Amino acid sequence: MKLTLALSKGRIFEETAEILSKVGIVPQEDPEKSRKLIIETSNPDIRLIIVRASDVPTYVQFGGADFGVAGLDVLMEKGTDGLYVPYDLNIAKCRMSVAVREGFDYAAAVKQGSRLKVATKYVNCAREHFANKGVHIDTIQLYGSMELAPLVGLADAIVDLVSTGNTLKANGLVEVEPIADISARLVVNQASYKRKRAQLQPIFELLK
């Protein structure tokens, strides 16, 4: 039986491919160069599909892929219904944080009980984080370039991923509160896990 692994382009693909290649499973094309969405590997029983990072859980949940690699940020935001999430792969690490414009007194705003406008791709995570703090927020859903929102007055704060902090710095923003440590997780289709376990388990051991 052929196994299909769902990956997103960029850091998830690169870091997963690096692990796979150590055990001789080598992608036959580079998704940054090829337009192909289905990529065969040197192992005839394993193929890759290339999807948006936020679509990985959907493909796996509905059986478009047997397993996949998804950021914890995506899983926190969309939930893990219908997925088996066995391992932290410890790759694509970063943190989810609250950031504001330099000079914006976040602590004072929180203390005063001000209502904050928060721009983010992660509206569910943001709502939960601020609800736990007892801070009222209005969320503004964005799909990218969140760092811009406080600079043009769209929002008081953003909830975004930070790794080196260079993007925030380059845009005059500061990280004021960590929300969660993020890394990539293995996600598995529950039916595949039952039917193809003998084939999947050795690959899990390698990835782990």
164 in contact with ligand PRT (CB under 6 A):
yes
CB nearer to ligand PRT: pick between 5 and 94: 94
11 in contact with ligand PRT (CB under 6 A):
yes
CB nearer to ligand PRT: pick between 71 and 150: 71
User: How many Å apart are CA 204 and CA 55, to the nearest integer?
Assistant: 21
53 in contact with ligand PRT (CB under 6 A):
yes
Among 5, 6, 92, 126, binds ligand PRT (CB under 6 A): 92
Among 43, 80, 167, 171, binds ligand PRT (CB under 6 A): 167
Structural tokens at position 90: 């410890």
Contact 156, 140 (CB under 8 A): no
Among 31, 57, 68, 71, binds ligand PRT (CB under 6 A): 71
94 in contact with ligand PRT (CB under 6 A):
yes
Contacts (CB under 6 A) with ligand PRT, residues 139-158: none
Contacts (CB under 6 A) with ligand PRT, residues 102-141: none
Contact 197, 74 (CB under 8 A): no
CB nearer to ligand PRT: pick between 5 and 92: 92
Greatest Cα pair distance, the chain, in angstroms, is 61
- Helix/strand/coil (H/E/C) assignment for every residue in 11-51: HHHHHHHHHHHHCCCCECCCCCCCCCCEEEECCCCEEEEEC
Contacts (CB under 6 A) with ligand PRT, residues 174-203: 182, 184
Residue with tokens 């914006």: 104
User: Cβ neighbours of residue 185 under 8 Å, at least 6 residues apart?
Assistant: 69, 70, 71, 72, 75, 85, 87, 88, 89
74 in contact with ligand PRT (CB under 6 A):
yes
Q: What number of CA atoms fall less than 13 Å from residue 151's CA on the CB side?
A: 11
Q: How far is the CB of 195 from ligand PRT (least distance, A)?
A: 28
Residues that bind ligand PRT (CB under 6 A): 8, 10-12, 52-53, 71, 73-74, 92, 94, 160-167, 182, 184
